[in-house]
Amino acid sequence: MALTVLALSFLFLLILGVPVAFAIGISSICAILVEGLPIAVLFQQMMSGMNVFSFLAIPFFIFSGELMLHGGIAERIVALARSVVGHIRGGLGMSNVVACTLFGGVSGSPIADVSAMGSVMIPMMKKEGYHTDYAVNVTTHASLVGVLMPTSHNMIIYSLAAGGTVSISALIAAGIVPALVLTACMLAAAYFVAVKRGYPPGVFPGWNVILITLVASLPGLLIIAIILVGILSGVFTATESAAVAVVYSMLLTLLVYRSMTWAKFRHAAAKAVKTTGVVLLLIGVSTMFQYLLALYQVAELAGQMMAYISTNPLVIFLMINIILFLLGTFMDMAATILICTPIFLPIAANHGMDPVQFGIVMLVNCALGLNTPPVGTTQFVGCAIGGISVSEVMRTILPFYIALLATLLAVTYVPAFSLWLPKLLMS
């Protein structure tokens, strides 16, 4: 009975449009009241869920991304990307993909990526004759690479949702190859659409221009290498690397680029505090939810239901992907990770999928949700910047969606994409 109350109240609140964090918390309280347990149990779970030292990495990574967003790195990355691939047919679209990938590695946030790159690239593409729907689709889809990069705080959330049994270092290494695969698929999709629509090629600026733009953007891009090398070499932990990222971002934007003003710093700090508050609230209430899921053995029930349909691992993985995709269309990424990991990780592991690989599958799947209505956070931001409706963008989304799905299937069914590099670096 209590499990039914938990599920129905949660779905009902989501349909009403209640924010996900409050929907999770209220439905958990309803279930515990029906169960007859002391309500203090839930709040103890909530506090214990947020009181984890490793979570310090989340506000640091978020703050570092905001500093980079407001510190002038975006324009330098755009200049580098345009000088490298801007001469190819539909070169501005290709430049957009490369720029979003590079900035995603710096910020670790698809939404920050869309905000920064979209504000620069979408108006530029429209001015040079590219259709608005193409500009928005390229930007919103390429920005999703950020969830797989070393600065992604969602990897830390997954590691802790998995009970702390999954190494953050392994996750960071596992995301590199899928990120490159996703970038390659996005480049192919952008080029295909550009050729189909007859977009013109640009002019090769010369190697000296490439060298100049590389030197200008290299200090900002070094943050990716600092975090990756530092964690994998054991010089510092993920939490320490996030703190190092903040210090480096501050020094870079203040002393090297000299683009950080007091007003920009206050705005970056305020945005980081707001985002951190939302994420920590989600973590707290999701811990309450996870406690109830474990109490009612939801993972075991889900596994039994799937076993009735098939025991073939390939079919099981496909069902998990479909469920995660559907949930991701109306839930925040952090909430999806926190709620679904305790349910589906044991099922995937029982059918032979490595927990590190499942983490990458989870992240790519949640990235799909970021670009799919009714939530579709990155898509709404991109459409707002481009001044175009979501329905218009959805009409021409298929090539980019196919690129995302191809990456998801590759990561799901070819373990080497996500496990080869961690095994090589950590053996």
Give one DSSP letter per residue of 268-287, joined into a string: HHHHHHHHHHHHHHHHHHHH
Give Cα 349 distance to the centre of its chain.
22
Burial level of 333, CB count in 10 A (0-12/13-18/19+)? buried
Which two tokens mark 245?
């990222």
Q: How far apart are CA 99 and CA 104, in angstroms?
A: 8
Enumerate the β-bridge partners of residue 89. Answer: 201
pLDDT for 69 equals 75
Q: How many residues does the chain have?
A: 427
Of 68-82, 253-267, 413-427, the least confident = 68-82
φ/ψ of residue 89, rounded to 5: -55, 130
pLDDT for 427 equals 63
Average pLDDT over residues 255-272: 86
Average pLDDT over residues 62-82: 81
- Give the predicted TM-score (pTM) of the model: 0.86
Q: Is the pLDDT assigned to residue 413 strictly greater than 90?
A: yes
DSSP annotation string for 190-231: HHHHHHHHTPPB-----HHHHHHHHHHHHHHHHHHHHHHHHH
Exposed e or buried b per residue across 276-303, where buried means at least 16 C-beta atoms within 10 angstroms of its C-beta:
beebbbbbbbbbbbbbbbebbebbeebb
226 Cβ neighbours under 8 A, 6+ residues apart: 241, 244, 245, 248
φ/ψ of residue 117, rounded to 5: -70, -40
CA neighbours closer than 13 Å in the CB half-sphere of residue 217: 25
Q: Is the pLDDT assigned to residue 317 strictly greater than 90?
A: yes
Average pLDDT over residues 253-259: 84
Q: For residue range 330-360, what is the model confidence (pLDDT) as tens digits?
A: 777 888 888 888 889 998 999 999 999 999 9
Which two tokens mark 157?
């959330």
| Cβ atoms of 172 and 228 closer than 8 Å | yes
Candidates 151, 146, 124, 149; CA nearest to 135 is 124
Q: For residue range 288-298, what is the model confidence (pLDDT) as tens digits?
A: 887 787 777 77
Please tell me which of 30-44, 99-113, 120-134 the model is most confident about, judged by mean pLDDT: 120-134
Q: Show me where the domains of the chain are located.
A: 38-426
Q: Is the pLDDT assigned to residue 198 strictly greater than 80?
A: yes
| pLDDT, the chain, mean | 84
Q: For residue range 358-411, what is the model confidence (pLDDT) as tens digits?
A: 999 999 998 888 888 766 778 888 888 888 888 888 888 899 999 999 999 999
| Cβ atoms of 324 and 302 closer than 8 Å | no
DSSP 256: I
| Cβ atoms of 114 and 378 closer than 8 Å | yes
Q: Band the pLDDT of 307: cuts 50, 70, 90.
A: confident
Q: How far apart are CA 384 and CA 118, in angstroms?
A: 10
State percent of the chain over pLDDT 70: 99
| Cβ atoms of 23 and 13 closer than 8 Å | yes
| Cβ atoms of 289 and 28 closer than 8 Å | yes
Mark residue 173 as left, alpha or beta (left: phi above 0; alpha: psi -120 to 50; beta: remaining): alpha
- Quick check: helix, strand or coil at residue 201? strand
- Quick check: helix, strand or coil at residue 267? helix
pLDDT for 360 equals 94
- Encoded amino acid at 149, one letter: M
Q: How far apart are CA 222 and CA 228, in angstroms?
A: 10
Q: For residue range 35-67, what is the model confidence (pLDDT) as tens digits?
A: 777 878 777 877 777 777 777 778 888 888 788
Candidates 126, 134, 151, 9; CA nearest to 67 is 151
Q: For residue range 16-27, what is the model confidence (pLDDT) as tens digits?
A: 878 777 888 888
Burial level of 152, CB count in 10 A (0-12/13-18/19+)? buried
Average pLDDT over residues 90-113: 82
Q: Residues 324, 329, 101, CA angle at the centre, nearest 5°?
A: 85
* Preceding omega of 178 cis (within 30 degrees of 0): no
Q: Band the pLDDT of 184: cuts 50, 70, 90.
A: very high
Average pLDDT over residues 262-274: 87
Average pLDDT over residues 167-188: 90
φ/ψ of residue 372, rounded to 5: -130, 125
Average pLDDT over residues 149-154: 83
Mark residue 234 as left, alpha or beta (left: phi above 0; alpha: psi -120 to 50; beta: remaining): left
106 or 83, which is more confident:
83
Enumerate the β-bridge partners of residue 201. Answer: 89
| Cβ atoms of 377 and 336 closer than 8 Å | no
